[in-house]
């Protein structure tokens, strides 16, 4: 078992990959066989695929606050006249799709939470064709992301209610960045750098859901978290390193989360949730619920 990113990188050298190490750890912790562990992750991958497809086809949330943006993004990409790279835009589209499905109470795979479920799945669905990842390699992508997510969860937080959105979307983006590095053939050390770069950039991000719902600004934050994962991965693969070691960055995120006022931790008492428009929308939603 590993408890720090430094441990993770060091111990992974005894395995064929970080994914293989994570599979071994999961087998040990759960008592399941290797085949059972992989089968469960394969099921998660199927859910991710379905949620992306459903969201891109077009959904609307229960409240009507969100929906249709994944379809709009898809149309924009198909038109071919865009500023960003197509792979990043596809990840953005996919991330939006998953979180729009979540907002309509559909089936998604929490990675690491429901509110940040679009990042890892969105990134993987966008990059798998470009990197020609087999089904097995896609599953490895998820195990790699999970390994880094496990360290973050144990040493900081993945909960918006505890650590703000930096702990949710920030962690998801870091997980995706690390998995991208490994999928592209990068080293464990480079994957760790991608985690540090991501968390440093997203540190301090508050959780301020309008009306207390996982919709605004959550859906779009997943989109931007997906794009951050790609940039962090490319920086790490280019040889750019974090001046602050990854484990120290994780600890800093934990400290920021502890010091963050409660109004910025999923209480809907600060940030965007207190804007006039947000208050109006909240009143409308509550009124509709009472009818």
Q: Band of the pLDDT at 252, cuts 50, 70, 90? A: very high
pLDDT at 153 (0 to 100) = 98
Q: CA 195 to CA 199: how far, in whole Å?
A: 6
pLDDT per position as a tens digit, 180-206: 999 999 999 999 999 999 999 999 999
Q: CA 98 to CA 90: how far, in whole Å?
A: 12
How much is the mean pLDDT over the chain?
98
Q: Band of the pLDDT at 143, cuts 50, 70, 90? A: very high
Q: CA 286 to CA 212: how far, in whole Å?
A: 11
pLDDT at 117 (0 to 100) = 98
Q: Is residue 46 exposed (0-12), middle (13-18) or buried (19+ Cβ within 10 Å)?
A: exposed
Full residue range of the structural domain in which residue 112 is found: 5-290
For the chain, what is the domain count? 1
pLDDT per position as a tens digit, 80-138: 999 999 999 999 999 999 999 999 999 999 999 999 999 999 999 999 999 999 999 99
Q: CA 270 to CA 46: how far, in whole Å?
A: 37
Q: What is the CATH number of the domain that holds 143?
A: 1.10.4100
Neighbours of 224 (CB within 10 A): 17
Neighbours of 13 (CB within 10 A): 10
Which candidate, 249, 268, 269, places its Cα nearest to that of 257? Answer: 249
- Is this structure's pTM higher than 0.85? yes
DSSP 216: T
């Amino acid at each position: 078992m590993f408890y720090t990113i430094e441990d993770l990188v060091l111990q992974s050298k005894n395995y064929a990959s970080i994914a293989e190490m994570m599979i071994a750890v999961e087998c040990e912790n759960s008592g399941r066989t290797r085949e059972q562990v992989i089968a469960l992750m394969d099921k998660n991958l199927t859910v991710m695929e379905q949620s992306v497809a459903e969201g891109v086809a077009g959904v609307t949330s229960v409240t009507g606050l969100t929906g249709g943006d994944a379809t709009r993004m898809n149309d924009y990409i198909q038109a071919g006249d865009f500023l960003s790279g197509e792979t990043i835009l596809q990840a953005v589209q996919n991330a939006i799709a998953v979180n729009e499905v979540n907002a309509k109470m559909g089936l998604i795979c929490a990675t690491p939470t429901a509110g940040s479920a679009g990042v890892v799945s969105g990134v993987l669905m966008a990059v798998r064709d470009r990197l020609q990842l087999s089904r097995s390699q896609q599953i490895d992508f998820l195990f790699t992301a999970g390994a880094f997510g496990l360290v973050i969860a144990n040493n900081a937080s993945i909960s918006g209610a505890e650590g703000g959105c930096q702990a949710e979307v920030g962690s998801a983006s870091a997980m995706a960045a690390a998995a991208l590095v490994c999928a592209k053939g990068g080293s464990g050390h480079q994957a760790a750098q991608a985690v540090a770069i991501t968390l440093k950039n997203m540190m301090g991000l508050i959780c301020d859901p309008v009306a207390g719902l996982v919709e605004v600004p959550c859906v779009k934050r997943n989109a931007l978290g997906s794009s951050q994962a790609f940039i962090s991965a490319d920086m790490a693969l280019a040889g750019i390193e974090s001046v602050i070691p990854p484990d120290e960055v994780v600890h800093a995120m934990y400290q920021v989360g502890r010091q963050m006022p409660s109004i910025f931790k999923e209480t809907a008492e600060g940030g965007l949730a207190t804007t006039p428009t947000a208050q109006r929308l909240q009143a409308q939603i509550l009124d509709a619920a009472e009818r």
